Amino acid sequence: MKVVYDDEKNRVAQKQYRVDGTGHQTKYLYGEVSKQQKPGLEYGVQVDGKTCIEYAYDLLGRCEKKTQIYPSGKKEGDHIYLCAGSKKKEPQQHW
């Protein structure tokens, strides 16, 4: 396994590895100011160039939603509530 580290931003950018002789790459997608995102937060994960996880945040930078994207294209998301006494984590499968 090879880990590519972004020294400028002090974080892991991607990992490269082999499974059964086939090379794979996992890339971590961080926020971009040009997209009105917070640059210190992770907004997704790509495996072999395809996005498989997306994250959404509220204005305070708290994770609000995590969406899993399957190879078939089906999306399945969970709303995440952080405050005690608020609604529980609710699966959302209406895509």
**Closest to 31 (Cα-Cα) out of 9, 3, 48:** 9
Q: Give the model confidence (pLDDT) of 41-68 as tens digits.
A: 999 999 999 999 999 998 889 888 999 9
Distance, CA of 63 to CA of 66 (rounded, Å)? 8
**Closest to 13 (Cα-Cα) out of 46, 37, 35:** 46
Residue 94 pLDDT grade (very low, low, confident, very high; cuts 50, 70, 90): very low
Whether this prediction's pTM lies above 0.85 is answered by no
Distance, CA of 88 to CA of 42 (rounded, Å)? 23
Residue 48 parent element (H or E) = none
